[in-house]
Structure 1
């Protein structure tokens, strides 16, 4: 009898262990993680048949990985509420230029069946950290949507919004959302491509689409519509970096901030319409830059220096920003944009009009 009880207890123990393991989120199976905001569950395996629900859980799974080799995170269409930062920092996993971490839409703009409604939509709903000055007075708050702390990363094909927050609750206080942040030491090779960044100064401010700290940053074939600032390069020297084939419309801050970019920064085939400040240099104006094969129509200031989250600095030496002979630069005016949401070229330049021939926008092919 005693033996039978021991056997039963052992069987119960095995059954409990099996159930516990079955309910514990598993490690990555293979080299892919799938997300679906409607059918997914963060206790799932993360396969195409059993997807996760949130990008933050996907980041936790990636952070558990070790060894070498690529990982791709696939986001199906739908709305992803970002109630916490998706912090990608796999300290035991090594990526390379050829074997990357890729965070991408399942269907990309160059796919033959793609429609604008296929883009996964990321919207921040998370709380903000509190910032204080030396006197202990609250000066503002911030949060990060996707935080990348590694090298050799690509983000592709996402529609990224800001957060429905009142950015200036009182004088001198600024609350801001940073949707994509690349931050760490000795980082290199970060590409953001075919993404659509949308903001609205009143309803859903997108304070700064891309905040980057590292070298070999590439931002290409993206659309920035109604965001405050598009790209800020800061802190470590941003060598070997580029910004090309982007469309920037109705920016009410600064288009590109090259605080840390070196003079080899390449800016070409970009189309800009209705900008506040085109370019912001570091306060010391250490570097000079060249604009190539681009069209800029409608802007308040050509080049500034200094600035920060609450300001755009002051006028800089215009000789620090040279426009090539193939650049069209018009102080006044506005380009023609397609606003029909059913059109494949939604939020792109109307074909046959100024700016439509440079390949700026979501389509790389």
Structure 2
């Protein structure tokens, strides 16, 4: 009888201990859930009421509100807050001067914030080229430093990275100085290490404008393989400068011929790839008031070479080949019918020669065509006024 009583007492103690442990586990779990909820609520910060998020890489903090007086530190945090937000209306991401190192792709892909043509997302410099107090040193500098192990369009490619990826419609990018990535671009035959600084993959997206941006590369130190790779409709690139990049703009893919695409008032200097890749562009593509100097290939058509395009009031001076088709990251395709690119009477084409560029870094006109010299009358470059 004594042993039975002792056995019952022991069993009851064990059961009581188990109940206490279960309660303790539940208590700990509740604390963890509460802590996670609080941290998540803190993390998903409310966007400023005026729709402006300010970033300063030197003075900012990603724990700040994102106002002008309390700026964020990184473009990643601005993208995260916009991607997590709920609502509608215009939003503006304002970048102060400074260096923005991207060690991972910055993707803008909001699911629950709704934009329109008039109420869009604008990612721009705080000081713009047409401002009275602007100088080239005030341009925010974007440089990619992430590993080159990205999978473009879902395909494995160990030699690729994206900088800023725009997976939404109704976006303007303005006033940035955009570099490439510090890699050795071609370590062996058939291998191309490359960065795409600004990308849009969505085949059905619309309305992307990139304006007054300076894309700079150096084939040895910091190759800028392809400044703008954009799929979908309504891609407009204007008043940009592409200086010593490989390829300037590729109108990439689309679920139908990409309409309402334009390139105008751009300056493309010493690019060792192709200046214009019109792969997805529809025949309403507008190309005017551009100056291309020292290019390897001026225009690269889609591989079927069917669409024809018009060039107006522009200059192509110093080139190896005018028109090819097909190609890709590792080559420039094959010979194409040159009549597919129709040059207006106001277009100047010279096989040899070059334009004069202002090389004075203290000049407001740095890396622009010198006033009064060949091509300056076309109005290509960063300034709209």
TM-score, structure 1 length as denominator? 0.91
Alpha-carbon distance between aligned partners in 1 of 2:229 and 2:55, rounded to the nearest angstrom: 25
Alpha-carbon distance between aligned partners in 2 of 1:217 and 1:75, rounded to the nearest angstrom: 22
Residue of 164, 174, 183 corresponding to 1:165:
183
Q: How does 1:29-68 map to 2 (within 5 A)?
A: 29-30=48-49, 31-68=51-88
Contact 1:25 1:43 in 2 (8 A): no
1:240 and 2:260 correspond:
yes
Residue of 289, 300, 320 corresponding to 1:280:
300
Deviates more, 1:49-58 or 1:196-205: 49-58
More strand by share: 1
Alpha-carbon distance between aligned partners in 1 of 2:86 and 2:264, rounded to the nearest angstrom: 34
Could you tell me which residue of structure 2 aligns to residue 7 of structure 1?
none
Q: Could you tell me how far 1:212 is from its partner in structure 2?
A: 0.5
Unaligned stretches of 5+ in structure 2? Answer: 1-34
Q: Using a 3 Å threshold, how does the CA distance of structure 1 residues 129 and 340 change in structure 2: closer, same or farther?
A: same
Q: Using a 3 Å threshold, how does the CA distance of structure 1 residues 22 and 49 change in structure 2: closer, same or farther?
A: farther
Could you tell me which residue of structure 1 aligns to residue 236 of structure 2?
218
Q: Deviations over 1:267-304 (max 9, x none)?
A: 00001110000000011101001110001110000000
TM-score, structure 2 length as denominator? 0.87
Unaligned stretches of 5+ in structure 1? Answer: 1-15
Give the number of the structure whose alpha-carbon radius of gyration is greater. Answer: 2
More helix by share: 2
Could you tell me which residue of structure 1 aligns to residue 24 of structure 2?
none
Residue of 183, 187, 192 corresponding to 2:201:
183
User: 1:74 aligns to what SS in structure 2?
Assistant: strand
Residue of 93, 96, 101 corresponding to 1:76:
96
Contact 2:102 2:146 in 1 (8 A): yes
User: 1:301 aligns to what SS in structure 2?
Assistant: strand
Cα RMSD of the aligned pairs, angstroms, is 2.0
Residue of 122, 126, 134 corresponding to 1:102:
122
Q: How does 1:112-123 map to 2 (within 5 A)?
A: 112-123=132-143
Structure 1 stretches of at least 4 aligned residues deviating more than 3 Å after TM superposition: 16-25
Give aligned pairs, total. Answer: 346
Alpha-carbon distance between aligned partners in 2 of 1:194 and 1:139, rounded to the nearest angstrom: 31
Alpha-carbon distance between aligned partners in 1 of 2:235 and 2:352, rounded to the nearest angstrom: 31
Residue of 39, 47, 51 corresponding to 1:28:
47
Could you tell me which residue of structure 2 aligns to residue 202 of structure 1?
220
Alpha-carbon distance between aligned partners in 2 of 1:21 and 1:167, rounded to the nearest angstrom: 41
Could you tell me which residue of structure 2 aligns to residue 324 of structure 1?
344
Q: Could you tell me how far 1:140 is from its partner in structure 2?
A: 4.2
Alpha-carbon distance between aligned partners in 2 of 1:206 and 1:17, rounded to the nearest angstrom: 41
Alpha-carbon distance between aligned partners in 1 of 2:157 and 2:94, rounded to the nearest angstrom: 38
User: 1:169 aligns to what SS in structure 2?
Assistant: coil
Q: How does 1:350-365 map to 2 (within 5 A)?
A: 350-365=370-385
Q: Using a 3 Å threshold, how does the CA distance of structure 1 residues 131 and 150 change in structure 2: closer, same or farther?
A: closer
Q: Deviations over 1:16-47 (max 9, x none)?
A: 99996896462211201000010111121111
Contact 1:139 1:174 in 2 (8 A): no
User: 1:144 aligns to what SS in structure 2?
Assistant: strand
